C-alpha cells in the first residue's frame, strides 16, 4: 500500500485558509502595530516586503507579505553561475537543447529514485511550454531526491511557483515563513522567490512538480455547485513563524537561485531563515487531497474532469487555464445507462497525468504505475484502453466505489506541452508501444439495424416524454 498522509504523524502546527490574510510572530511583540514600515521595527528587526504581484495589481489579485527579520534578504554576496555546463531547466534558452513537440500519446514507467542527490539536483524537467524569462507558460518536473540539503544552504526559484506533488517519501520543508511537512496524498505550493531547504525524514522521496511561470494558483469558481464543494478554503494550511538565530559571522551559508532555468549561487554569513514575524497573503501552503469534496452525476452521463479541479491558474481567456491541478480520488459512481470510465476524447488542452498510489480506474494492467506518468497532448486522442472498455461496456450498472486506495492527478494546460531530451531519452523510462497496447486492440462493432444492431445502444435508452409525467405512461420510445 502507498504511504499516505495518515501514516506519518504531523509535527508542525499551521494557520488555516486559502489566500487568507495571515499574521504570525515567533516572539511576542515582533509585529508592528498600525504600520508596516515603522522607523524602527520592533525588537531591532528589519522591515522587508515580499511582493508576489505588481504593486498596482487590483486589490483582489494583489499578493504581498511583510517580513520582520534579523537581517534583510539582500545581505549576501553577488550571485555567480554554478554548474552552468550541466544544470539547466529551460532548454529553450540553449541552442543545443530543445523542447520536442510530439502528437503521440506518451507514457513513462516509474522514475528511478536517486539516493545521491539533494533537492536542488533532483529536479528534472520532463515537459513544458513557454519561457520563465517571459513569465509565460509552465514546466513539469520529476523530482527524485535521496539526501538532505546541506544545513547551510537555501534554495529558491525566481522562475515560478512550485506545486509539489509527493508520490513516495516525505518532505520536511523549512521556509523563511516557517515549516511544512508534506506527505504523500498532500501537496504544497511554494511561491516564486521564497527561500527554503528540504530534508527527508523517511528516506528518499519522489514525485512531480508543476512550475507555474505566470500568475498564481487559485481556487476554481464553484458556479451552480454553490458555496461548498471541491477543495474548501479552510483546509489549506500555512506555516506559523519560526526562525533560526545564527548571525555571528562565523558560518558561511550558500543561497542557490534558479533563474531563467540556470543555477546561481551567492554566499552570506547569516542564516537565511531568520524571519521572526510576518503578515500578508503571499506565503507557502499545503493541502491534504483526502479532504477534497468530490462532486459527480447522480442521474446519467458524467461531468467533464474539470469537476475534480483542486487549483487553477487562469489564462487571460475566461475559462481557460495555463495550468489546472486535477485529481481523481476515491468516489462513488451511480449514473444510469452511462459508460462510466472517461469517454474517448480529443482535447484542446494538454493532459499530463501522474499516479500517486493504487490503480487508475481507466487503465488495466501494469502500464500506468505509481511514480510513472503519461502525456496526451493537444488533440491527441485517448481514453480507456481496450480491456477497460470491454469490461465497462458489460458491467452491471449498480452503485460502485472506484479508486479505493488510489489517487491519480492531472496537470492540464491550454499550451502545447513539449518533451525534453531528458524525458525522451536520458531517463530511459519512456514506454514503447503505449498506443499499440491501449487502443489498437479496439475492434469495430458497428452493425446496421437490419443486421441486428440496436439503434438505441446495447441496452436501449429510455427517453421519457413530458406527457409521461402527467399521464403516468412509461413507454419506451
| pLDDT tens column, 97-126 | 678 999 999 999 999 999 999 999 999 999
Is 433 domain-assigned?
yes
**What average pLDDT does this structure show over 380-387?**
89
Is 472 domain-assigned?
no
Identify whether residues 203 and 346 lie together within a single domain. no
**What average pLDDT does this structure show over 331-356?**
92
| Cell numbers for 25 | 510572530
- Active-site residue, selected from the candidate residues 302, 317, 376, 389: 302
| Cell numbers for 93 | 534558452
DSSP state, residue 366: T
CB 271 within 8 A of CB 316: no
Domain residues for the domain of 300 are 291-437
Count of structural domains within the chain: 2
Annotated binding residues: 345, 351, 360, 382
Which of 252-256, 367-371, 394-398 shows the highest mean pLDDT? 252-256
- Given a cut of 80, whether residue 91 has pLDDT beyond it is no
For 110-204, strand residue ranges (E) read 123-131, 136-145, 153-157, 161-168, 171-175, 178-182, 186-190, 196-199
**What average pLDDT does this structure show over 355-378?**
87
**What average pLDDT does this structure show over 333-344?**
89
What per-residue confidence (pLDDT) applies to 45?
Answer: 98
3-state helix, strand, coil in the chain (%, to 5): 10, 35, 55
Identify whether residues 242 and 349 lie together within a single domain. no
CB 103 within 8 A of CB 417: no
Helix (H) or strand (E) holding 437: helix 434-438
Q: How confident is the model at residue 268 (pLDDT cuts 50, 70, 90)?
A: very high
What per-residue confidence (pLDDT) applies to 302?
Answer: 86
First to last CA, the chain: 48
Q: Tally DSSP H helices, then E strands, for the chain.
A: 4, 28
- Given a cut of 70, whether residue 397 has pLDDT beyond it is yes
For 213-252, strand residue ranges (E) read 236-239
> Is 302 one of the annotated active-site residues of the chain?
yes
Write out pLDDT tens, residues 215-244. Answer: 999 999 999 999 999 999 999 999 999 999
Identify whether residues 160 and 216 lie together within a single domain. yes
Q: How far apart are CA 265 and CA 82, in angstroms?
A: 6
What per-residue confidence (pLDDT) applies to 6?
Answer: 55
Identify whether residues 165 and 86 lie together within a single domain. yes
Q: Which of 271, 289, 307 is the last residue of a domain?
A: 289
What per-residue confidence (pLDDT) applies to 454?
Answer: 72
Averaged confidence pLDDT in the chain: 90
Annotated binding residues for homogentisate: 360, 382
What per-residue confidence (pLDDT) applies to 334?
Answer: 93
**What average pLDDT does this structure show over 198-224?**
96
Identify whether residues 350 and 247 lie together within a single domain. no
- Residue 346's domain is classified under what CATH number? 2.60.120.10
Q: Which residue has the higher pLDDT, 88 or 41?
A: 41
DSSP-derived pairing of the beta strands 236-239 and 46-51: unpaired
| Cell numbers for 177 | 515563513
* DSSP per-residue string spanning 42-97: GGG-EEEEEESS-TTS-TTT--EEEEEESS-TT-S---EE-STTT-BS-GGGSTT-
Is 10 domain-assigned?
yes
Q: How confident is the model at residue 469 (pLDDT cuts 50, 70, 90)?
A: very low
Identify whether residues 163 and 213 lie together within a single domain. yes
What per-residue confidence (pLDDT) applies to 474?
Answer: 43
Cα separation values, 115 from 144, 147, 183, 200, 429, Å: 8, 6, 18, 11, 18
Q: Which of 272, 289, 306 is the last residue of a domain?
A: 289
Identify whether residues 231 and 330 lie together within a single domain. no
Query: 300: which residues sit within 8 A by CB, 6+ positions away?
Result: 335, 336, 337, 338
What per-residue confidence (pLDDT) applies to 3?
Answer: 47
Q: How far apart are CA 330 and CA 328, in angstroms?
A: 7
**What average pLDDT does this structure show over 310-327?**
95
Q: How confident is the model at residue 359 (pLDDT cuts 50, 70, 90)?
A: confident
Is 81 domain-assigned?
yes
| Cell numbers for 170 | 516525505
CA angle 312, 120, 75 (to 5 degrees): 95
Identify whether residues 224 and 369 lie together within a single domain. no
What per-residue confidence (pLDDT) applies to 453?
Answer: 75
Q: Which of 237, 265, 289 is the last residue of a domain?
A: 289
Write out pLDDT tens, residues 117-171. Answer: 999 999 999 999 999 999 999 999 999 999 999 999 999 999 999 999 999 999 9
Amino acid at each position: 500500500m502507498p504511504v499516505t498522509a495518515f501514516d506519518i504523524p504531523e509535527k508542525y502546527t499551521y494557520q488555516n485558509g486559502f489566500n487568507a490574510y495571515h499574521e504570525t510572530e515567533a516572539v511576542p511583540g515582533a509585529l508592528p502595530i498600525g504600520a508596516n514600515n515603522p522607523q524602527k521595527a520592533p525588537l531591532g528587526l528589519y522591515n522587508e516586503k515580499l511582493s508576489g504581484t505588481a504593486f498596482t495589481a487590483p486589490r483582489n489579485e494583489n499578493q504581498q507579505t511583510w517580513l520582520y527579520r534579523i537581517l534583510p534578504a539582500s545581505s549576501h554576496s553577488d550571485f555567480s553561475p554554478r554548474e552552468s555546463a550541466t544544470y539547466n531547466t529551460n532548454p529553450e534558452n540553449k541552442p543545443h537543447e530543445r523542447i520536442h513537440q510530439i502528437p503521440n500519446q506518451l507514457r513513462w514507467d516509474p522514475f528511478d529514485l536517486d539516493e545521491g542527490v539533494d533537492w536542488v539536483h533532483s529536479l528534472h524537467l520532463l515537459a513544458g511550454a513557454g519561457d520563465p524569462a517571459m513569465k509565460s507558460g509552465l514546466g513539469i518536473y520529476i523530482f527524485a531526491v535521496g539526501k538532505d540539503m546541506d544545513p547551510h544552504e537555501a534554495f529558491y526559484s525566481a522562475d515560478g511557483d512550485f506545486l509539489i506533488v509527493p508520490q513516495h517519501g516525505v518532505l520536511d520543508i523549512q521556509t523563511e515563513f516557517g515549516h511544512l511537512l508534506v506527505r504523500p496524498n498532500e501537496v504544497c505550493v511554494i511561491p516564486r522567490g521564497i527561500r527554503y531547504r528540504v530534508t527527508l525524514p523517511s528516506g528518499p522521496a519522489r514525485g512531480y512538480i508543476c512550475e507555474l511561470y505566470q500568475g498564481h494558483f487559485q481556487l476554481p469558481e464553484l458556479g451552480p455547485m454553490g458555496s461548498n464543494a471541491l477543495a474548501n478554503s479552510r483546509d489549506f494550511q500555512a506555516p506559523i513563524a519560526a526562525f533560526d538565530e545564527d548571525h555571528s559571522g562565523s558560518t558561511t551559508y550558500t543561497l542557490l537561485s534558479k533563474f531563467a532555468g540556470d543555477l546561481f549561487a551567492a554566499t552570506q554569513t547569516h542564516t537565511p531563515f531568520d524571519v521572526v514575524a510576518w503578515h500578508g497573503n503571499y506565503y507557502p501552503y499545503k493541502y491534504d487531497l483526502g479532504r477534497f469534496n468530490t462532486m459527480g452525476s447522480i442521474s446519467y452521463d458524467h461531468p467533464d474532469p474539470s469537476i475534480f479541479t483542486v487549483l487553477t491558474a487562469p489564462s487571460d481567456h475566461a475559462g481557460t487555464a495555463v495550468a489546472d491541478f486535477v485529481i481523481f480520488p476515491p468516489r462513488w459512481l451511480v449514473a444510469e445507462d452511462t459508460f462510466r470510465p472517461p469517454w474517448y476524447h480529443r482535447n484542446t488542452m494538454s493532459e499530463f497525468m501522474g499516479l500517486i498510489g493504487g490503480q487508475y480506474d481507466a487503465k488495466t494492467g501494469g502500464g500506468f504505475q505509481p511514480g510513472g506518468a503519461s502525456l496526451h497532448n493537444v488533440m491527441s486522442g485517448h481514453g480507456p484502453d481496450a480491456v477497460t472498455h470491454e469490461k465497462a461496456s458489460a458491467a452491471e450498472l449498480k452503485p460502485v466505489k472506484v479508486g479505493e486506495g488510489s489517487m491519480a492527478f492531472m496537470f492540464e494546460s491550454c499550451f502545447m506541452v513539449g518533451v525534453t531530451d531528458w524525458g525522451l531519452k536520458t531517463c530511459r523510462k519512456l514506454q514503447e508501444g503505449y498506443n499499440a497496447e491501449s487502443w489498437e486492440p479496439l475492434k469495430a462493432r458497428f452493425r446496421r439495424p437490419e443486421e441486428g444492431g440496436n439503434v438505441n445502444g446495447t441496452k436501449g435508452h429510455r427517453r421519457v416524454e413530458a406527457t409521461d409525467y402527467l399521464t403516468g405512461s412509461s413507454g419506451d420510445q
